[in-house]
Amino acid sequence: MSEKMNFQAEVSKLLDIVVNSLYSEKYIFLRELISNASDACDKLKYLVLTNPDIAKSSGEFKIKITPDAKENTLMISDNGIGMNRDDLINHLGTIAKSGTADFVNNAKDNGSSVDLIGQFGVGFYSAFMVASKVEIVTKKAGEDKAWKWTSDGIGGFEIEEAQKDVNGTDIKLYLKEDDKNFTDTIYLRYIIRTYSDHINYPIVLCLGEAGEENVNTGSALWARHKSEITQEQYKEFYHHLSKNFDEPWMTLHFKAEGNMEYTGLLYIPKQAPYDLFQPDKKTGLKLYVNKVFISDKVEELLPSYLRFVVGVIDSSDLPLNISREMLQQSALLEKIRHGTVSRILKELKKRSENYDDYMLFWKDFGIAFKEGIYEDFNNREEIASLSRFMSTHDTEKYTSLDDYISRIADDKKVIYYITGDDEKVLRNNPQLEAFKAKNIEVLLLTDPIDEFWTQTLQNYKGYAIKHINQADIDWKLERDSQKAADGDMQKLIDKLTEMFKTEVGKVVTTDKLTKSPVSLTVENGQMSIHLERLMRNHQQQTAFASTRILELNPYHPLIIKLSEMVGENKDMAKVEEVAKILLDQAKIAEGEAISDPSFYAEKLSEYILKAI
């Protein structure tokens, strides 16, 4: 008796997108189904190795493609792990990955780019691009019952018991009228060779009366010698792993020899994956032992700041029946990880010599990569040297720390930085005026992560890394302008200290400002205003809020005027009003919110009106 079930709402939506917007890339369905068949064989192979009592495999693993031009159907069969009733319901009717569901819910019904949706793994559902009906007959290894799953890709599916002798899955597609070409063996052979050649199991194409033909090379790509692999093949394997459609930014194929033998085939995509910053994002390497798939969730293979690297590590030194739990404690894995990280960093170093090329990597992955500066103690200097930053030296180009060092003009070994939310706002921060005047370069750091690595890496190649408010510099500048009288300045300071006592801890005169009348900073060594703001945004209470210092520029006409007014005790209401506006300006320059925006706006218009 068959049972009718509905697709999860997101699946229906996904199907809609798949069927309507991947129109030109129809052939990808075959790649997806073959890839699933290969995964199913991997899973059974592993199970047989680790739990021989539960599972037996039925002969040599293979994937069979059977076209039927008369019936207009195409069947993809494997003798892998198969699915039971629960598997069918859970895997082919719901979306497991949280990111995919979110994406689908936010996606526009049309115009979703193929590139994007590919990343989310349309996977099995892509069958409905070419099929008006899909029929699956499957039997899970080690179980007695077989099941049949049928769907037209609209609304839902039906499940009933079925007959099948051996474990594995047969997926039969009833092709749409327009997609008859997928029964053409010449076309099928071409698609399989192009997109699935790297698959580790034989892919057999049934040619009807002419028999069967083994279509793919059938050996693991990474195990072949570099000289035997074409760029196309590297790329296709990357597509298979990453679910992207673009060219990888980096392809790194290596063999480590010596006391530990392993092969790596690693890629860095051109675009960051959608889930790069989701907390549960796992690193993207698959582990094989002698071409047998072990796991794709081996977090120990790569540190998390390299979580955007996808690829395969295959080692013959690990025991074949290693369990996933054992993996976590393996000292061998630690060695592989160590060696792999070094290789990646070395390759990045090479690529960093070409600025434009390196920027393609940096703009998408730099934020994650910088986490390594505090996460990876052993490589932190290397990671810092591969990092790039905006600075006051150039308005467009990023700089490296080494280039910064090469431009230092004085004999103080210090790299200065300032942090904030926005680069443009930072560039105009009054705190930078004296640095400009003295020709001292300052890094402009705008990623939240910057607040953290700068706390860990306080020294780079013998150069101290300091927030500008820790600078120990004699700010005396050559000035030809007038200066406020000391006595009046003191009175102004007393006045403002009293006025702003709840908001500002201290009011001082400074030599640091050239253009601005006032500026906000914190006591040397205290948490920067930006970090405080970050913590506040994350509900981390500001119990240890830094003491705000309001700095006054005694050379600025406005400050001179105010100090004179206070000195003469004249028009104090006006002094207070202007002082409030100035404090607001200082806050704005820091990227801080002002306490009474309507007061500020109203007063500003009033003064502008007087001026024009």
Q: Please, which of residues 38-57 interact with ligand ADP by CB under 6 A?
A: 39-40
Q: In the complex with ligand ADP, which residue's Cβ is closer, 33 or 327?
A: 33
SS3 per-residue string spanning 466-534: EEHHHCCCCCCCCCCCCCCCHHHHHHHHHHHHHHCCCCCCEEEECCCCCCCCEEEEECCCCCCHHHHHH
CB of 137 to ligand ADP, least distance (A): 11
Q: In the complex with ligand ADP, which residue's Cβ is closer, 244 or 340?
A: 244
Q: Does 36 help bind Mg ion (rule: CB under 5 A)?
A: yes
CB of 310 to ligand ADP, least distance (A): 13
Q: Does 80 help bind ligand ADP (rule: CB under 6 A)?
A: yes
Q: In the complex with ligand ADP, which residue's Cβ is closer, 36 or 217?
A: 36
| Exposed / middle / buried, residue 203 (Cβ in 10 Å: 0-12, 13-18, 19+) | buried
- CB-side neighbour CA atoms (13 Å) of 594: 16
Q: Which of 118, 123, 284, 430 binds ligand ADP (CB under 6 A)?
A: 123
Amino acid identity of residue 211, one-letter, is G
Point out which span in 19-27, 119-127, 433-441, 443-451 binds ligand ADP (CB under 6 A): 119-127
Q: In the complex with ligand ADP, which residue's Cβ is closer, 92 or 507?
A: 92
Point out which span in 78-86, 296-304, 492-500, 583-591 binds ligand ADP (CB under 6 A): 78-86
Q: Which of 14, 29, 78, 453 binds ligand ADP (CB under 6 A)?
A: 78
Report DSSP state, residue 7.
P
Residues 6+ apart with CB under 8 A from 104: 10, 13, 14, 17, 95, 120
CB of 433 to Mg ion, least distance (A): 57
Residue number, nearest CB to Mg ion: 123
Q: Say if residues 505 and 564 touch (Cβ distance below 8 Å).
A: no
The Cα 273–Cα 309 span in angstroms is 10
CB of 597 to ligand ADP, least distance (A): 49
Q: In the complex with ligand ADP, which residue's Cβ is closer, 95 or 390?
A: 95
Q: Say if residues 93 and 7 touch (Cβ distance below 8 Å).
A: yes
SS3 of residue 9 by DSSP: helix
Partner from Mg ion, ligand ADP, none contacting 170, C-beta within 5 to 8 A by type: none
Contacts by 448-456, CB closer than 8 A, 24 or more apart = 448/534, 449/367, 449/370, 449/371, 450/370, 450/417, 450/419, 451/419, 451/528, 451/530, 451/531, 451/534, 452/374, 453/370, 453/371, 453/373, 453/374, 453/384, 454/417, 454/419, 455/374, 456/373, 456/374, 456/380
Residues 6+ apart with CB under 8 A from 441: 391, 392, 393, 404, 407, 408, 416, 435
Q: Which of 81, 426, 520, 529 binds ligand ADP (CB under 6 A)?
A: 81
Q: Please, which of residues 20-39 interact with ligand ADP by CB under 6 A?
A: 32, 36-37, 39
Q: In the complex with Mg ion, which residue's Cβ is closer, 284 or 517?
A: 284
Label residues 533-559 b or e (16+ Cβ within 10 Å = b). Answer: bbbeeeeeeeeeebebbbbbbbbbeeb
Q: Does 169 help bind ligand ADP (rule: CB under 6 A)?
A: yes
CB of 122 to Mg ion, least distance (A): 9
What's the first-to-final CA gap in the chain, in angstroms? 86
Q: Say if residues 246 and 234 touch (Cβ distance below 8 Å).
A: no
CB of 33 to ligand ADP, least distance (A): 7
Q: Does 83 help bind ligand ADP (rule: CB under 6 A)?
A: yes
Give CA torsion, residues 360, 365, 369, 370, to 10 deg: 90
Q: In the complex with Mg ion, which residue's Cβ is closer, 240 or 495?
A: 240
SS3 of residue 60 by DSSP: coil
Q: Does 311 help bind Mg ion (rule: CB under 5 A)?
A: no
Residue number, nearest CB to ligand ADP: 123
Partner from Mg ion, ligand ADP, none contacting 83, C-beta within 5 to 8 A by type: ligand ADP
CB of 502 to ligand ADP, least distance (A): 56
CB of 324 to ligand ADP, least distance (A): 17
- CB-side neighbour CA atoms (13 Å) of 147: 19
Residues 6+ apart with CB under 8 A from 575: 495, 562, 565, 566
CB of 581 to ligand ADP, least distance (A): 58
Q: Does 153 help bind ligand ADP (rule: CB under 6 A)?
A: no
Q: Which of 19, 22, 92, 522 binds ligand ADP (CB under 6 A)?
A: 92
Partner from Mg ion, ligand ADP, none contacting 91, C-beta within 5 to 8 A by type: ligand ADP
Instruction: Give me the 70-109 binding string for Mg ion, x by CB under 5 A, dash otherwise.
Output: ----------------------------------------
Q: Does 123 help bind Mg ion (rule: CB under 5 A)?
A: yes
By CB under 5 A, name the binding residues for Mg ion. 36, 123
By CB under 6 A, name the binding residues for ligand ADP. 32, 36-37, 39-40, 78, 80-83, 91-92, 121, 123-124, 169
